[in-house]
Chain A
Amino acid sequence: MKKTAALFLLGIIVSTLLFAGGKQEASGKKEAEVQSVNFWFHLDDPEARVDSLIQKFEQENPGIKIEAERVPWDAYHQRLLTAVTAGSPPDVSQVKLWWQPQLVELKALEPLDKWISTWQGRNDIYDRVWELTRYTDGKQYLMPLQMVILYMYYRTDMFKKLGLSIPETREEFLDVAKKLTRDTNGDGNVDVYGFGIRGARGGHDWWGAFVLSSGANFEKGGLTTPEAIAANQWFIDLYRVHKVSPPTTPNDGFKEIIANMQSGRTATTIHHIGSAKGMVDALGDKISAFPVPEGTEGRWTSFGDEENAIFSASKVKEAAWKWISFLATKENNLTWQKASGQISVNKSNAEADYGELSRFVKATTESADFAGVLPAHPATAEFVESVWPTTMQRAFLGEITSKEMMEIFEKHFYGE
């Protein structure tokens, strides 16, 4: 009896193994045909999803599977660079323009020119975007994905109440900011501040709007001219002398800037359309936007961009190209922007209906002519990540002067 049972069991085990083996073989064969593209991306809104785009792509391109990995923004640059150095980058990653010099230096990126030259969608992408994203060696490594231009948010209700009009120059802006900085409940303490400055990482866009528009630039020696130092002093004074920005300014990052605006702690700040939905949800029609005011030498605002890049270590470059060109095509790109909250890179989407956000789109397009980018310099990434915030904070605290601050920047880019 025992023997029979044992035989029976053995039979079951053997047949299971055989069956499983056969199945495995079959699926193994199928996997060989499927190319999987490892894709890194990030979205500001934690609830946003891009699954529908991936599904659509996989249906249109049987045999390609997109393995999307959402990477936290704070650690994105560091993770990407370490993955590249470790020799295991993703096939495709969303990248920032200012990472390009380092990635090219590492020979990590695949030039896309051979595909772009025959790609039908190329003429539907803004010429200016192609221009800004082309690398200094003349090659195109980045495939445009999304764009934003920074503008100034303002509280329409507060402007109306105080009878203020939209400032055109930085002096007018300072005047407006001073008037907006006030004690609203009569307890002797300031409750509303005129301008929310981001003093932590990412705040170089606030700084640039006032300093790069008034005589400073990133050419060699361009940061330490008397005009540049004066412009920087003017910006520091917003916090130190005129006190139009909250006392927490040196440590305020993205979350604080947005929260202060939404809670009415600040009356203006700088950001882009990516945060417009949240602003409207919190403040309704009490918030709108205008282009950043003019400095002593015109206007400057930050062109915020993100692109997709294919890594030279990838073994599925053709499939990767299909995916990034798919994302840069009209309706797909528009779907992507629904998740990213940003603006499409396609000319044919220019007339797209942004509904309640159209006033922010207007401020964006009005700023297009003077939107600029940080220099295509390998030191830019560290400038953004740590040099700008620490140095700015020290100047805000009064530990260093405007001149010393600009000299630190100059030294960072061009050495002694």
Chain B
Amino acid sequence: MQRMIRALRRKTDLYPYSLLLPALTVTTFIIFIPLVYTFGLSFFNYVIWKPHEIKFVFLGNYKKALEDEVFWISFRNTLIWIAGVISLQLVLGFITALLLNRQFFWRSLARSLILIPWVTPSVITALMWRWLYDGNSGLINDILVRLGILDRYFPWLANGSTALPAIMFALMWQGFPFFTVMILAGLQAIPTELYEVAKVDGANPMQMFFHITLPMLMPILLTTILLRTIWVANSLDIIFIMTGGGPGYASHTLPLYSYIRAYKGLDFGYASTIAVYLTLLLVMIVTMYVIRILKTEERFR
């Protein structure tokens, strides 16, 4: 056996591929094939309870989406959703990481506690926040009324202009620990000599933050933001449980709209089209992002 492996290593360069094979196989079946299938489905008029009307319509669904009011509402909400949630998570995550990087006696306990939102399943997070926001007996309303900030209970999730921000706030709570953990790891990798040298040169803490901490963290920040953008853009479970996309279309995002078209309307063709548009949007964001990263890295080099 040992000899065989060695022979394989020597004679061919297939060995690394053979190690990747299991992962590749799984990915092919659970991601790549469905992806291609969805792409194919998006060219069809495919409502599952109308088997006689299934037909190839080429770009018909794509055209229909561009003329669909709900598509554009969802599109706009998706952009707000991504930008809002990511920046909130980044800011909160950064602040928490800086705090946790300091020395205090219960630091290790605090570091574990901070992970609670992250390890809580989305469904539980969503149900919890739904009851926190509840307009008849919710805790948030109760506190705000007691503090005198509100004079009566407010229906956070039943109001068209507060529903989406309220859910974004819940998702911020759920996702910020990921930023904290990544940034904390980054902070600890910064050599302390840099700060010492800066101190000798008479730099103040502000200057040290902007000229040492931030640039040193940049690669980690960029990667984390990219990862989170993709996750956040695709997340629909929290919205689905908290408002179901409502009231009206107030909290519809593209993945949610696609889900509703597929599973409430059973219109899989159109739902696939929306999903493909979302994919295109993400590919665009990611491409722009990668280009920027490459440029930034060059600058720092």
Contacts and interface: CB of A to CB of B under 8 A. Distances in A.
Interface of A: 75, 78, 81-82, 85, 102-103, 105-106, 188-189, 199-201, 246-252, 256, 259-260, 263, 265, 378, 381-382, 385-386, 389-391, 393-394, 396-397, 399
B246 interface: yes
B49 A396 contact: no
Interface string B32-72: 00000000000000001111000000000000000000000
Contacts of B246: 200, 250-251, 389-390, 393
Nearest to B52: A105
A29 B263 CA distance: 41
Interface residues of B, number: 31
7 contacts: A78-B264, A82-B48, A103-B49, A246-B155, A247-B135, A382-B264, A394-B249
A385 B264 contact: yes
A248 B155 contact: yes
A263 B134 CA distance: 14
Given A106-B49, A189-B151, A399-B160, A248 B264 contact: no
B49 A248 contact: no
A375 to B, nearest CB: 16
Pairs of residues from A and B, 3 with the lowest C-beta to C-beta distance, nearest first: A248-B135, A394-B248, A250-B247
A200 B241 CA distance: 12
Given A78-B263, A263-B137, A247 B50 contact: no
Given A247-B153, A393-B248, A397-B247, A386 B49 contact: no
Nearest to A378: B49
A106 B51 contact: yes
Interface in B164-181: none
Given A82-B263, A105-B51, A250-B247, 11 more contacts: A75-B263, A106-B48, A200-B246, A247-B153, A248-B136, A263-B136, A265-B137, A382-B266, A385-B265, A389-B244, A397-B250
Contacts of B269: none
A217 B109 CA distance: 63
A396 B247 contact: yes
Nearest to A385: B264
Contacts of B159: 397
Contact of A200 (B135, B136, B153, B244): B244
Contact of A386 (B48, B50, B264): B264
Interface of B: 48-51, 134-137, 151-155, 157-160, 163, 243-250, 260, 263-266
Contacts of A263: 136-137
B265 A399 contact: no
A385 B261 CA distance: 11
A317 to B, nearest CB: 22
Task: Name the residue in A75, A249, A382 with the highest tally of chain B Cβ atoms < 10 Å from its Cβ.
Answer: A382
Given A82-B48, A189-B152, A247-B153, A397 B137 contact: no
A386 B259 CA distance: 11
B13 to A, nearest CB: 42
B153 to A, nearest CB: 7
Given A78-B263, A82-B48, A394-B249, A248 B134 contact: yes
Given A247-B153, A382-B264, A399 B248 contact: yes
A393 B247 contact: yes
Contacts of B151: 188-189
Contacts of A397: 159-160, 247-248, 250
A256 B49 contact: no
B144 to A, nearest CB: 13
A188 B160 CA distance: 25
Contacts of B244: 200-201, 389
Given A390-B245, A393-B247, A251 B155 contact: yes
Contacts of B136: 246, 248, 256, 259-260, 263, 265
Contacts of B137: 259, 263, 265
A106 to B, nearest CB: 6
